[in-house]
Amino acid sequence: MKPHPLHAVILLAFPFLTGCPISYSASAPAPAPAPTFSYEIVSWNHNMPKTMKLIREDEGFCALAGVGGKFNGGGEFAKVYLNQKDKTWYFEGQNVAGFGWADILVVRIKNKTSSTKISASGT
């Protein structure tokens, strides 16, 4: 026997007509895990290579955390930069005076989502 179309209307209206509460549940997608951070300090001194490759841009970011030694002129420098061509963070340092050091902060970001923004500026 085929049910009458009115049966569906009565079944849907029954809770309203009788005062019985209706509860609907919908499961929302689980929220994405929050990004987590880890960091390390990478040290450089004048006896090491002038350039060090650090991490890719999509892994996190880097910053110069400290510098010291004899910086007597234009031949001494320390810098951290994002290479726009290969999207990689680098450190570059030079000390011709014979004594120099630098500490580089390397921050890695895990559990990134499409809304996690990392941006850098500079050379």
**Residue 2 counted as domain residue:** no
**Residue 5 counted as domain residue:** no
**pLDDT at residue 121, rounded to an integer:** 52
Predicted TM-score of the model (pTM): 0.66
Sorted by sequence, the CB contacts under 8 Å of residue 123 that are 6+ apart come out as 81
**Residue-range definition of the domain harbouring residue 42:** 36-110
**pLDDT at residue 22, rounded to an integer:** 53
**pLDDT at residue 30, rounded to an integer:** 75
**Residue 45 counted as domain residue:** yes
Which of these, 70, 92, 95, 93, lies nearest to 81 by C-alpha position?
92
Number of domains in the chain: 1
- Taking only the tens of pLDDT, the chain with its 123 residues reads 555 554 444 445 445 555 555 555 667 777 777 788 899 999 999 999 999 999 999 999 999 999 999 888 788 999 999 999 999 999 999 988 788 999 999 999 987 766 666 555 544
**Residue 106 counted as domain residue:** yes
**pLDDT at residue 70, rounded to an integer:** 87
Cα(104)–Cα(121) distance, rounded to whole angstroms? 17
**Residue 118 counted as domain residue:** no
From residue 76, alpha-carbon distances to 11, 28, 84 in Å are 83, 57, 24
**pLDDT at residue 10, rounded to an integer:** 46
